Amino acid sequence: MPVGDDEQRRLADSDRGVAWKGWGPYLSERQWGTVREDYSDSGAAWESFPHDHARSRAYRWGEDGIAGISDEKQRLCFALTLWNGEDPILKERLFGLTNAEGNHGEDVKECYFHLDNTPTHSWMRYLYKYPQAAFPYDDLVETNARRTRREPEYELIDTGVFDDDRYFDVFIDYAKASPEDLLVRITAYNRGPSPAMLHLLPTLWYRNRWTWRSRRPKPSLAMADAPPGTTAIAATHYRLGDRYLCIDAADAEVLFTENETNTERLFGTPNDHPFVKDGINDHVLHGAATVNPAQTGTKASFHLTAKVPPGEAVTVRLRFTDTPVASRDELFGAEVFDAVMEARELEADDFYAQVAPPSLGQDERRVLRQALAGMLWSKQYYYFDVDTWLAEHGAHPWASEAKRQVRNREWFHMVNDDIISMPDTWEYPWYAAWDLAFHTVALAMVDLGFAKGQLELMLNEFYLHPNGQMPAYEWAFGDVNPPVHAWATMFVYNQEKLLRGGGDVAFLGHAFQKLLMNFTWWVNRKDPSGSNVFEGGFLGLDNIGVFDRSAPLPTGGFLEQADGTAWMALYCQNMLEMALELADRDPSYENMAVKFAEHFMWIASAMNR
């Protein structure tokens, strides 16, 4: 390993069990409007949990925020909240249109950028562009509603809210001094021509698990003793232990509330206490007595205000650690805080210099680096216990009087509780199995271990259906996506051979056995006539047809389709290649190689008839 290749060393340590990835950008950018949070009778996920509920209603299955991080099981979360003094609500999460509101479907209506990230998340940078005028929530909804599908989308920049550069560029930088010691730097630049007020509320909170699992001890946040010149919040959790969020500001205002639903606002039911999820919002905007004067809770924010001159910036520095520190210099001294920040950024430079092919120019290297940063920022903690979710809907198939018209009722074996690469953590904050297969090809450039783990995840017993089907996505796990998992597995295996001089044969053999189950499912379920012509309905074309080809015909009968056939020919080729590779070490795989060669010939012959 080259001298100075610190990120590669951290990756190697992570593969040996050191928790460099224990904290990362695992917070979603949208939890509202997801299937997991849908507890309606209609199954209308977007409408049952809209953006307007998000500030007041505790989530059941995950959390969201701006430039947020969490531990790998999303017990404790951190993100940035902002207020410009004009918005009707605090800016705690990204806004966007639902599938029905957008003239081209769901669409985030914000300006933000995943600028940089490393595989162990030892260095991360995020940029959010925050308008100084009131955020045009109503204008975005109403104007897009008037537009047809033939017209362009109405974007945030079209509203005029960025005119005359009246906005803040808010950079959020993270650097790890150790696996359990995170440095946070928030820098807000006033790009406009006039002084502008900005409220910054770095926020720490627990995902609400106690409402549904009351037997577990409730975690707590409270004021902590802090070195002179700093202010600190203590976080106590029965699994995470004690942690401290310290800010480089003497006597900073700290606001506490509970991450619990404001039932009075949403449902007209009196709250048990006034300190609910939107308590900090109501206190900052309206002066309401909705923050806990005892300074304890499960959600807490530092509250800082600054009038930023034009062209200048305000900087906030924080440190999130598992060890109490005796002096400000140990936390925020230039030779400590600034040195770690600078070192991690330089180490990221060194890491990506090795990743980029020598043939790329500087601009191409920047594009590659930021593209990979976007992939790494899109790692999200995804929690979905389908067995529990179905039972809570009164729809578990083993219940005596179960509802039948509830999605995913045949997938009650699934317990998803992992960090997963998302197609997009706002527009698509749920995994899609065939998208994920393609993600691993890119991710293997920077983190082979994570890429292989993602491929293995979809094949383990908590994901793969007992009948061999691979889950598609949370809207309908039983939908059929193109069978590209074998192709991605072989690609990542070969990439490891190229990079390390040898492939992971155990990984390949395990994947082959599980893929054999999936291949058999395809043969049994998608070739009903036994003619080696495979149907699918949703394969590679999404739902852009005139009607949903995965759904039963309203007239009865069935639709003859062949769009899965070429995919299955590819599947055969991929399985053949895997079998030949494994046969080099285990001759018992030779028969499997013959099987898939024959199956490819049968499909090719069927296509030519």
561: tokens are: 């389709």
Q: Are 325 and 245 in contact (CB under 8 A)?
A: no
- Whether 14 has a pLDDT exceeding 70, the answer reads yes
Alpha-carbon distance of 175 to 594, in angstroms, equals 52
| Torsion angle of C-alpha atoms 18, 62, 279, 317, degrees rounded to 10 | 30
CA-wise closest residue to 569 among 483, 468, 470: 483
Residues 469-500 pLDDT 10s: 999 999 999 988 899 999 999 999 999 999 99
CA-wise closest residue to 299 among 92, 597, 12, 570: 92
Neighbours of 590 (CB within 10 A): 14
User: Which residues, 6 or more positions from 509, have their beta carbon under 8 angstroms from its beta carbon?
Assistant: 582, 586
- Angstrom CA distances, 109 to 54, 106, 132, 149, 490, stand at 16, 10, 16, 17, 38
Residue with tokens 């998000």: 54
* Average pLDDT of every residue of the chain: 94
Residue 551 has what pLDDT?
A: 72
- Whether 1 has a pLDDT exceeding 50, the answer reads no
Residues 351-406 pLDDT 10s: 999 999 999 999 999 999 999 999 999 999 999 999 999 999 998 888 877 677 78
Could you tell me how many helices (H) and strands (E) the chain has, helices first? Answer: 16, 19
User: Which residues, 6 or more positions from 225, have their beta carbon under 8 angstroms from its beta carbon?
Assistant: 232, 324
Residue with tokens 């009722």: 409
User: How does DSSP assign 296-311, residue by residue?
Assistant: EESEEEEEEEEEEPTT
138: tokens are: 């109503």
User: Which residues, 6 or more positions from 293, have their beta carbon under 8 angstroms from its beta carbon?
Assistant: none
Residue 26 has what pLDDT?
A: 98
Residues 504-528 pLDDT 10s: 999 999 999 999 999 999 999 888 8
Task: Classify residue 587 by burial, with Cβ atoms within 10 Å: 0-12, 13-18, 19+.
Answer: exposed
Residue 543 has what pLDDT?
A: 53
- Whether 18 has a pLDDT exceeding 80, the answer reads yes
Residues 412-453 pLDDT 10s: 999 999 999 999 999 999 999 999 999 999 999 999 999 999
Alpha-carbon distance of 93 to 86, in angstroms, equals 16
Q: Are 427 and 96 in contact (CB under 8 A)?
A: yes
Residues 71-89 pLDDT 10s: 999 999 999 999 999 999 9
- Whether 541 has a pLDDT exceeding 60, the answer reads no
Q: Are 485 and 422 in contact (CB under 8 A)?
A: no
Alpha-carbon distance of 37 to 21, in angstroms, equals 27
- Whether 558 has a pLDDT exceeding 90, the answer reads no
Residues 241-297 pLDDT 10s: 999 999 999 989 999 999 999 999 999 999 999 999 999 999 999 999 999 999 999
20 DSSP β-pair partners:
none
Q: Are 503 and 574 in contact (CB under 8 A)?
A: no
Alpha-carbon distance of 259 to 547, in angstroms, equals 42
Q: Are 575 and 505 in contact (CB under 8 A)?
A: no
Alpha-carbon distance of 201 to 247, in angstroms, equals 11
- Whether 542 has a pLDDT exceeding 60, the answer reads no
Question: Can you give 578-596 as a three-state secondary structure string?
Answer: HHHHHHCCCHHHHHHHHHH
143 DSSP β-pair partners:
none
- Angstrom CA distances, 489 to 6, 448, 458, 523, stand at 28, 11, 11, 20
Q: How confident is the model at residue 584 (pLDDT cuts 50, 70, 90)?
A: very high
Q: Are 232 and 331 in contact (CB under 8 A)?
A: no
Q: How confident is the model at residue 3 (pLDDT cuts 50, 70, 90)?
A: very low
Residue 509 has what pLDDT?
A: 97
- Per cent of the chain over pLDDT 70 is 97
**Long-range contacts, 508-511 (Cβ 8 Å, 24+):** 508/578, 508/581, 508/582, 509/582, 509/586, 510/456, 510/459, 511/455, 511/456, 511/459, 511/486, 511/578
Burial 216-251 (b: 16+ CB within 10 A, else e): eebbebbebebbeebbbbbbebeebeebbbbbbbee
Q: Are 44 and 35 in contact (CB under 8 A)?
A: no
Alpha-carbon distance of 607 to 354, in angstroms, equals 45
What are the chain's domains?
Answer: 6-330+344-373 (2.70.98), 416-608 (1.50.10.10)
Residues 305-358 pLDDT 10s: 999 999 999 999 999 999 988 899 999 998 999 999 999 999 999 999 999 999
Neighbours of 260 (CB within 10 A): 22
- Angstrom CA distances, 178 to 6, 13, 172, 290, 298, stand at 12, 12, 19, 36, 25
Residue 49 has what pLDDT?
A: 96
User: Which residues, 6 or more positions from 116, have their beta carbon under 8 angstroms from its beta carbon?
Assistant: 123, 124, 125, 345, 348, 369, 370, 373
**Residues, the chain, total?**
609
- Whether 2 has a pLDDT exceeding 70, the answer reads no
186: tokens are: 């928030």
User: Helices marked H in 5-49 — which ranges?
Assistant: 6-15, 45-48
CA-wise closest residue to 265 among 58, 112, 455, 426: 58
Q: Which amino acid is at 201?
A: L
User: Which residues, 6 or more positions from 518, have their beta carbon under 8 angstroms from its beta carbon?
Assistant: 459, 464, 468, 469, 470, 483, 485
Neighbours of 17 (CB within 10 A): 7
- Per cent of the chain over pLDDT 90 is 85
- The separation between the first and the last C-alpha atoms of the chain, rounded to the nearest angstrom, is 55
E strands, 231-322, are 231-237, 241-247, 253-257, 296-297, 299-308, 313-321
Alpha-carbon distance of 557 to 560, in angstroms, equals 10
Rg from Cα positions in the chain: 26
Q: How confident is the model at residue 540 (pLDDT cuts 50, 70, 90)?
A: low
